[in-house]
Structures are given as structure tokens and as C-alpha cells.
Amino acid sequence: MYRLAAISGLFLLLGNLAFAAQDRRTSLDEAVSDAREHYNGKVLSAETRRHNGHETHNVRVLTDDGRVRRYRVDADAERPPGRNSRKRR
């Protein structure tokens, strides 16, 4: 009986860890907000692309000086607390 309870507890713990890991992913909305802050411009487009099972958020921003900048964010990366900037260009 003790083994069954221990195994059940282990599965419950692993399930909770997997669920928590999903919450730490960077959302497309967060990537758009970060790009807008970083380049201080107007967002032209934003999309999430999947390549070989890996997701990347791609945001295009029109800057005040008329340049179009690309901003890429690894969707699977945890967003550091208090940090808005991500991989640029």
C-alpha cells in the first residue's frame, strides 16, 4: 500500500512540474510587448513559427526613423523576472 501511495505521489509531482514548465514559456503577447519596448516603435506583424518542434516568436517593428526591425524570441525559454529584452534582430 505504501508503494502505491509513493508512486501516485511521484506521478502527481511530475505532472505538476510539467504543468508549471508550460506556464514559464514566453507568450506571443509578451514578445510583442518586449519588441515594442525595445525598439519604441509600431508593431507591423507578429507570428509564431514552428521548426522541428521548436517554436520561435517573430515580431516586425517599424521604428521612429522608418526602419523595419526584426525581433525574435525563443518561445520555450523562460522569461526572466524583471527583464523585458530578449534576443534582438
Tens-place pLDDT, residues 3-60: 655 566 555 656 655 544 445 688 999 999 999 999 999 999 999 999 888 899 999 9
Instruction: Let me know: does 89 contact 70? Beta carbons within 8 Å.
Output: yes
Cα–chain center distance at 83: 13
26 vs 85: CA distance, rounded Å: 12
Range of the domain at 58: 26-74
Statement: the pTM of the whole predicted model exceeds 0.75: no
Q: Is residue 47 part of a domain?
A: yes
Q: Considering its fold, how many domains does the chain have in total? A: 1
Q: Is residue 1 part of a domain?
A: no
Read off the DSSP letter of residue 79. P
Q: Is residue 13 part of a domain?
A: no
Q: Is residue 35 part of a domain?
A: yes
Q: Is residue 66 part of a domain?
A: yes
Q: Is residue 51 part of a domain?
A: yes
Q: Is residue 15 part of a domain?
A: no
58 vs 34: CA distance, rounded Å: 12
